Amino acid sequence: MAAMDSPFSPPVRAAADAALAALGDGRTGDAAQLLTAVAQEGTWRDAVMAAEIVLAAHHTNNHKPAA
Are the C-beta atoms of 46 and 9 separated by less than 8 Å? yes
Residue 4 in any domain: the answer is: no
- What is the residue-averaged pLDDT of the chain? 88
49 lies in a domain?
yes
Residue 67 is predicted with a pLDDT of 63
Classify residue 2: in a domain, yes or no: no
Whether 41 is in a domain gets the answer yes
Whether residue 28 is contained in a domain is answered as: yes
Distance (Å, whole) CA 48 – CA 63: 23
Q: Hey, CA dihedral for 38, 39, 42, 48, is it positive or negative?
A: positive
Q: Which domain holds residue 38?
A: 10-62
pLDDT in tens, 16-32: 999 999 999 999 899 99
Q: How confident is the model at residue 3 (pLDDT cuts 50, 70, 90)?
A: very low
Number of domains in the chain: 1
